[in-house]
Amino acid sequence: MIIIANGALVTPEGLRRGDIALDGGRIVEVAARIEPGPSDTVEDATGCWVLPGLIDAHTHLQCWTGMDWTADSFETGTRAAACGGTTTIVDYATADRGVTMDEALAEWHRRADGACTANYGFHMAIAEWGDDSPGQMRRMREAGVSSFKTYLAYDHLRLTDAETLRCLEAVRELDAVLCVHCENGDVVDELQRAVLARGITGPEGHPLSRPAEAEADAVSRLLYLASIAGARVNVVHLSTELGLEAVRAARARGQRGVFVETCPQYLTLDDTRYLEEGDDGFAGAKYVMSPPLRKPSDVRALRAAVLAGEVDSIATDHCSFNLHGQKDRGRGDFTRIPNGGPGIEHRPAVMATAFEGRLGPVELARLMSEGPARVFGMWPRKGRLAPGADADVCVWDPRARWTISAATQQQAVDYTPYEGMEAHGRAHLVYVGGVLAARDGAPTGARPGTYVSR
Ligand code: URP
Ligand code: ZN
């Protein structure tokens, strides 16, 4: 048995000082004091927060995104996740056009099985709608995939509104959740053409082509479609105040099953980053992700929404590409810069630092563990420290001080958007299924990650 002793435990009943025991992949006891036996391992957690293992429910590992392969594989990505405190990811398996969901799921298992340090589940992204899609979705549900994704932007991925409605009806029938990328694809396509025609070809053209209104329009449309279908939806990577207002309007109408996810980058960085030059004048490409970084007023509005409890989960949308050799192929045409950025390793530290004194351990655990566990069908097995739950635990030291840097990160990518940030707090010990996977930001070499059927 492993006993984590004398920590500040985040339990379903609230914060309490005590010990927690792990055995056989499960939490077996939570108590004020657990007497160790002669063969038990005791780890002292004095001064630390003991959190249910953190869950990142939005990642893209080892996948082709239409322009390039992501830099992180399941091996490197889940190792980096665990080093930062994340014990479970839910990755987007994607059934590209011409590929069935069964084929995509089998392929994602081939990529992930046996390679992962953190646990992994899959959403299924649907890029093409047909008569047999509901049947394929039912088979996904039986295989432990209880959430799906569709896009309202990206020409090679997006469904029409009619197809989205059909998909939402299937989601309702399966009691699943549909995650949706909310940007108006027609508007983005048109504005990309217009911005390039004005001679704006660098990374600063990216946010100009994807205005807040394009997000808000899509969020609003999605929520009306979900209301017609009576389906649960998760608005992924919400980035704007206007989009937030659309969510508030739906909730004010009494619509149930409206979940909101945002990401650390939309809570800490703004669109002035696109002007960053770096060594070769192209450093702004690091921040080319969709949706783009927004105005400081959007950052403020989203931060307030997080503090007000309007956001259900914080995920990363980790989708890493190297600046040199991948993103820089878009020099001279920002629409050719692969979209996405890294974050899987640093989400807990960025959140704890950016919200220091405003979000305590209970709130951080709600946003990064309990919230995603509930939305994505993992509760009560994950997302809580209680006997019977999986032994996924993050012992967080809020006193640690360190500097986030690409030079020391585990993520297999040549930059981090948070370079130079002095982090307040660090994952001291990270257990995945009761196995120590990382200590003080370094991997132990164990690969205990298993598939999470939801
Ligand atoms: O730019 C991003 N976020 N790329 C990943 C795909 C997506 O939109 O989620
Ligand atoms: Zn994404």
Phi then psi dihedrals of residue 196, to 5 deg = -60, -40
Per-residue pLDDT of the chain (454 residues; tens, 9 = 90+): 999 999 999 999 999 999 999 999 999 999 999 999 999 999 999 999 999 999 999 999 999 999 999 999 999 999 999 999 999 999 999 999 999 999 999 999 999 999 999 999 999 999 999 999 999 999 999 999 999 999 999 999 999 999 999 999 999 999 999 999 999 999 999 999 999 999 999 999 999 999 999 999 999 999 999 999 999 999 999 999 999 999 999 999 999 999 999 999 999 999 999 999 998 999 999 999 999 999 999 999 999 999 999 999 999 999 999 999 999 999 999 999 999 999 999 999 999 999 999 999 999 999 999 999 999 999 999 999 999 999 999 999 999 999 999 999 999 999 999 999 999 999 999 999 999 999 999 999 999 999 999 9
290 lines ligand 1 (CB under 6 A): yes
60 lines ligand 1 (CB under 6 A): yes
Span from the CA of 65 to the centroid of ligand 1 (angstroms):
8
Phi then psi dihedrals of residue 233, to 5 deg = -135, 150
- The protein residue with its alpha carbon nearest to ligand 1, atom 8, reads 290
Question: Which ligand is in closest contact with the Cα of 183?
Answer: 1
212: nearest Cα among 185, 190, 184, 242? 242
Please, are residues 401 and 424 in contact by the beta-carbon 8 Å criterion? yes
- The protein residue with its alpha carbon nearest to ligand 1, atom 4, reads 340
What is the biggest distance separating any 2 CA atoms in the chain, rounded to whole angstroms? 73
Give the pTM.
0.98
273: nearest Cα among 257, 287, 253, 259? 287
289 lines ligand 1 (CB under 6 A): yes
Please, are residues 383 and 369 in contact by the beta-carbon 8 Å criterion? yes
Question: Which ligand is in closest contact with the Cα of 68?
Answer: 1
Span from the CA of 224 to the centroid of ligand 2 (angstroms):
22
List, as one string, the DSSP characters of 239-283: --HHHHHHHHHHHHTT--SEEEEE-HHHHH-BGGGGG--TTTT-G
Question: Which ligand is in closest contact with the Cα of 70?
Answer: 1
Please, are residues 331 and 288 in contact by the beta-carbon 8 Å criterion? no
- The protein residue with its alpha carbon nearest to ligand 1, atom 2, reads 340
DSSP SS3 for 93? strand
- The protein residue with its alpha carbon nearest to ligand 1, atom 7, reads 290
339 lines ligand 1 (CB under 6 A): yes
Distances (CA, A) of 249 to 166, 211, 300: 23, 20, 19
Kind and range of the H or E element at 395? strand 393-403
Question: Which ligand is in closest contact with the Cα of 91?
Answer: 2
Phi then psi dihedrals of residue 128, to 5 deg = -150, 135
**Of the residues 290, 327, 334, 344, which should be mutated to test ligand 1's pocket, given the most ligand atoms within 8 Å of the CB?**
290
